Chains A and B, each alone.
Chain A
Amino acid sequence: MNLDNELRNTLRRKSPAPGFAGRVLARIEEDDARSSFVSKATDHGRRWRAVAASVTLAAVLAGYASHHIAEQRRIEGEFARDQVLLAMRIAGAKVRYAQQEVRAIGTDRTEEQSSIGEVDN
């Protein structure tokens, strides 16, 4: 037995079932259709993702703006409160000073009157 010849015979080329090229083309078309569907679905998904991203961005911006406005108001409020407190402190000091002055004038007059009385007597 010649093994080389036997192997050539056993491993000889065989043909696939008739219509093989047609089946390959059918798979190519099937594959193309699937790719096109996937591509369309991807485009659709991409559009929806863009819309979702825009909505999220708008919400974030709106949130930031409202937070910024609230913060601004808080700062302005604190500033106004400080101004009022300062004004009240100044006013209090002035009133205390005026009271002291009034008291001092009152004391001086009493002393004057008592010294006049002593002189009259």
Chain B
Amino acid sequence: MTAIAQELVEFPTALVKAREGDHDAFAEIVEQHEAMVYSLAWNFFRDRSRAEEIAQDVFLQLFRNLASIESPSHLVFWLRQVTTRRCIDVSRRGRLRPVSLEEAGEIPARERNRDPLLDQTLQRLIGELPELQRVVLTLRYQEDLDPSEICRIVEVPVNTVKSHLHRALRSLRKRLESSR
């Protein structure tokens, strides 16, 4: 099989069509990855309106850069990287277009058999972590990535990622214990 034929087999039809300007195909891609992008932003800011706005911006940017996407795995990597960068950028600049609560949607329902107080405390403590620790922690536990994958997304050495992860976990343990 030639390299081009191989790429066509591996390249999903939706991506090919979206590249040609097909909005329905692009909507299919958005639906496939919206939870990942939205959650990265939500777990960073703990704010539905900000998460919605950032997720919309990221997909808008993706639509303009579809030609640069090389494969489905590159698409996922690209979305994770652009979302985390945008979260840090927005957090530093404090700049956002207001999104209505209708657009932002409902607060996701909590799982049963979980301690709502612990969940709330963890959310608050994660929100208080420094930006990079929060990003590394989110990529580790939301996306289940290992430090070698995280370091490619945040573009820092793998040892720095490990150190941020270690510090974040130590800080969370310590503060959880003191909050009990």
Residues of B within 8 A of A3 (CB): 169, 172-173, 176
B26 proximity list for chain A (CB < 8 A): 25, 28
Complex CA–CA separation, A4 to B176 (angstroms):
13
A24 in complex: contacting residue of B39, B56, B114, B122, CB < 8 Å = B56
Which residues of A lie under 8 Å from residue B123 when comparing CB positions? 10
A27 and B60 contact, CB distance less than 8 A: yes
Asked whether A11 is an interface residue with its Cβ less than 8 Å from the other chain, the reply is yes
Sorting the interface of chain B by its residue count into under 10, 10 to 19, 20 to 34 or 35 or more gives 35 or more
What 0/1 readout, one digit per residue, does chain A (69-107) give for beta carbons within 8 Å of chain B? 000000000000000000000000000000000000000
Closest beta carbon of chain B to A10's beta carbon, Å:
5
Main DSSP-derived SS at the B contact region? helix
The reply to whether B141 and A15 contact each other, CB–CB distance below 8 Å, is no
A9 touches B34 (CB 8 A): no
- The segment from B3-11, B98-106, B147-155 found at the interface with A is B98-106
Q: Give the chain A neighbours of B142 by CB distance below 8 A.
A: 11-13
| The residue from B39, B122, B172 contacting A14, defined by CB atoms under 8 A apart | B39
Contact surface of B with A, Cβ cutoff 8 Å: 23, 26-27, 30-31, 34-36, 38-39, 42-43, 48, 51-52, 55-56, 59-60, 63, 102-106, 108, 111, 114, 118-119, 122-123, 126, 137-138, 141-142, 144, 169, 172-173, 176
